[in-house]
């Protein structure tokens, strides 16, 4: 059989979660909360299903949810977006990213990816017929080396994909990064796909900067979000894309023949919850920062070196002082032998640098984080 993605296997998240289950390990690998989503949100889903809201939603998403998204963008980012022309509800950010890339990348177009890059970007670029051009982040602090990005541009460059807060490193782009990107995108006529699924998980009083807040980026970007992250319901697979009308129209052409629509009662439940609790995302930084700090304190006596985690619900550990083993091998072995599952970082690179990083997810109950830390401190 001719494979269109011969080098692609099952995602690391699926594999590590399966291995964790198989060995009864504490699963700090795949990014999802192990605690319940808000009760009001779960009740709203049950209510809508029971009331019979179980047939197709409109292709672009339920109006009530698109309106809540527009309100939230206004309240949290000071950004105006038209719920009819510019906001599309998608069955998960993964689908939104895929549709954006499929719709906008043509044969032999080049797309800049910043490594380590989330695993779904490159396959989408390739399936669209494009070519991924990988530019590594600075190894010291995972900041963007804009000179290197500029050096990687060619007449075929069509798009750059950014992700802030960044999975897997937790790095957060600054205002000056976005200004640089804005100048670069204008100068080289680049489209931008901005993966902002962790927009509300920014710590230590810092702020998230969205492409939607920079006029020239607003005009050429698709910003992609996930209700799964913000409301702790990754299994509901619902997100949204925000883009100017002309770009949105192209994205919707792909979306309608890929998934057609998202899940109706889930959309209606999210709309009800957002209307009832508009300030809910504002509480997320303190909630997740407390978890990050708990994990960091508990790991302080260990032999790991902890990297700063200014955003997301991920923490990188440098195990260089403990072992030289390649990270994917070590992750699997420690899941089996120590009962703690994590994610190796090398899989997010085209050319992994010489480094020894594991990613832990701290969207877990405190007791699980402490149990995992206790094990890791003994290694």
Residues that bind ligand GLN (CB under 6 A): 11, 13, 30-31, 167
Number of CB atoms found within 10 A of residue 128's CB: 22
Candidates 197, 295, 347, 369; binder of ligand PMP (CB under 6 A) is: 197
Phi-psi label, residue 357: left if phi above 0, alpha if psi -120 to 50, beta otherwise: beta
User: In the complex with ligand GLN, which residue's Cβ is closer, 256 or 346?
Assistant: 346
User: Out of ligand PMP, ligand GLN, none, which partner does residue 93 contact, by CB within 5 to 8 A per kind?
Assistant: ligand PMP
Q: Which of residues 155-174 bind ligand PMP (CB under 6 A)?
A: 163, 167
Q: Any idea what DSSP says for residue 202?
A: B
List alpha helices for 166-222, DSSP H: 175-188, 215-218
Q: Any idea what DSSP says for residue 110?
A: E
Q: How far is the CB of 11 from ligand GLN (least distance, A)?
A: 5
CA atoms within 13 A on the CB side of 276: 12
At 112, which helix (H) or strand (E)? strand 110-115
List alpha helices for 208-326, DSSP H: 215-218, 227-230, 245-258, 264-276, 284-299
Classify 365 as helix, strand or coil: coil
| Contact call for residue 340 and ligand PMP (CB under 6 A) | no
Number of CB atoms found within 10 A of residue 290's CB: 13
Q: Based on the number of CB atoms within 10 Å of its own CB, is 366 exposed (0-12), middle (13-18) or buried (19 or more)?
A: middle
User: Out of ligand GLN, ligand PMP, none, which partner does residue 11 contact, by CB within 5 to 8 A per kind?
Assistant: ligand GLN
User: Out of ligand GLN, ligand PMP, none, which partner does residue 73 contact, by CB within 5 to 8 A per kind?
Assistant: none
| Contact call for residue 226 and ligand PMP (CB under 6 A) | yes
User: In the complex with ligand GLN, which residue's Cβ is closer, 121 or 214?
Assistant: 121
Candidates 116, 239, 265, 285; binder of ligand PMP (CB under 6 A) is: 239
Q: Based on the number of CB atoms within 10 Å of its own CB, is 337 exposed (0-12), middle (13-18) or buried (19 or more)?
A: exposed
User: Out of ligand GLN, ligand PMP, none, which partner does residue 281 contact, by CB within 5 to 8 A per kind?
Assistant: none
User: In the complex with ligand GLN, which residue's Cβ is closer, 31 or 265?
Assistant: 31
Q: Any idea what DSSP says for residue 282?
A: G
Which residues make Cβ contacts (< 8 Å) with residue 223, sequence separation at least 6?
A: 194, 196, 210, 211, 212, 241, 242, 243
Number of CB atoms found within 10 A of residue 164's CB: 26
User: In the complex with ligand PMP, which residue's Cβ is closer, 116 or 352?
Assistant: 116
Candidates 234, 264, 267, 289; binder of ligand PMP (CB under 6 A) is: 234
| Contact call for residue 228 and ligand PMP (CB under 6 A) | yes
User: In the complex with ligand PMP, which residue's Cβ is closer, 162 or 340?
Assistant: 162
User: Out of ligand PMP, ligand GLN, none, which partner does residue 136 contact, by CB within 5 to 8 A per kind?
Assistant: none
Q: How far is the CB of 313 from ligand GLN (least distance, A)?
A: 9
| Contact call for residue 194 and ligand PMP (CB under 6 A) | no
User: In the complex with ligand PMP, which residue's Cβ is closer, 110 or 195?
Assistant: 195
Q: Which of residues 38-97 bind ligand PMP (CB under 6 A)?
A: 92-94
User: In the complex with ligand PMP, which residue's Cβ is closer, 225 or 304?
Assistant: 225
Q: Which sign does the torsion angle of CA 45, 49, 50, 53 carry?
A: positive
Q: How far is CA 100 from the centre of its chain?
A: 15
User: Out of ligand GLN, ligand PMP, none, which partner does residue 30 contact, by CB within 5 to 8 A per kind?
Assistant: ligand GLN
User: In the complex with ligand GLN, which residue's Cβ is closer, 167 or 302?
Assistant: 167
Using CB under 6 A as the criterion, which residues of the chain lie in contact with ligand PMP when the complex forms?
31, 92-94, 118, 163, 167, 195, 197, 226, 228, 234, 239
């Amino acid at each position: 059989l001719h494979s269109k993605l011969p080098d692609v296997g099952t995602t690391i998240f699926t594999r590590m979660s399966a291995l964790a289950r198989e060995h009864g390990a504490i699963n700090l690998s795949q990014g999802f909360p192990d605690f319940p989503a808000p009760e009001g949100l779960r009740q709203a889903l049950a209510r809508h299903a029971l009331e019979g809201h179980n047939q197709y939603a409109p292709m672009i998403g339920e109006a009530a949810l698109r309106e809540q998204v527009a309100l939230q963008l206004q309240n949290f980012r000071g950004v105006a977006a038209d719920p009819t022309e510019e906001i599309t509800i998608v069955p998960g950010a993964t689908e939104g990213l895929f549709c954006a890339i499929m719709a906008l990348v043509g044969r032999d177009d080049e797309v800049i990816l910043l490594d380590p890059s989330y695993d779904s970007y490159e396959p989408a670029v390739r399936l669209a017929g494009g070519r991924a051009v990988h530019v590594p982040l600075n190894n010291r602090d995972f900041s963007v080396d804009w000179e290197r990005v500029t050096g990687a541009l060619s007449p075929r460059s069509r798009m750059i994909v950014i992700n802030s807060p960044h999975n897997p490193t937790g790095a957060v782009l600054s205002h000056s990064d976005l200004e640089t990107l804005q100048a670069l995108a204008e100068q080289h006529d680049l489209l931008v796909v901005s993966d902002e699924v962790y927009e509300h998980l920014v710590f230590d009083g810092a702020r998230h900067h969205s492409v939607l807040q920079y006029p020239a980026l607003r005009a050429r970007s698709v910003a992609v979000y996930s209700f799964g992250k913000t409301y702790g319901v990754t299994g509901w697979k619902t997100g949204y894309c925000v883009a100017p009308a002309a770009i949105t129209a192209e994205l919707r052409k792909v979306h309608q023949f890929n998934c057609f629509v998202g899940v109706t009662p889930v959309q209606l439940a999210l709309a009800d919850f957002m209307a009832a609790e508009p300030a809910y995302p504002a509480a997320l930084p303190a909630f997740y920062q407390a978890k990050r700090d708990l994990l960091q304190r508990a790991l302080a006596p260990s032999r790991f070196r902890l990297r700063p985690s200014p955003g997301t619900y991920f923490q990188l550990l440098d195990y260089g002082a403990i072992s030289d083993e390649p990270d994917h091998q070590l992750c699997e072995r420690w899941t089996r032998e120590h009962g703690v599952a994590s994610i190796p970082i090398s899989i997010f690179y085209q050319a992994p640098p010489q480094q020894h990083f594991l990613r832990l997810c701290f969207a877990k109950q405190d007791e699980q984080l402490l149990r995992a830390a206790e094990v890791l401190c003994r290694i």
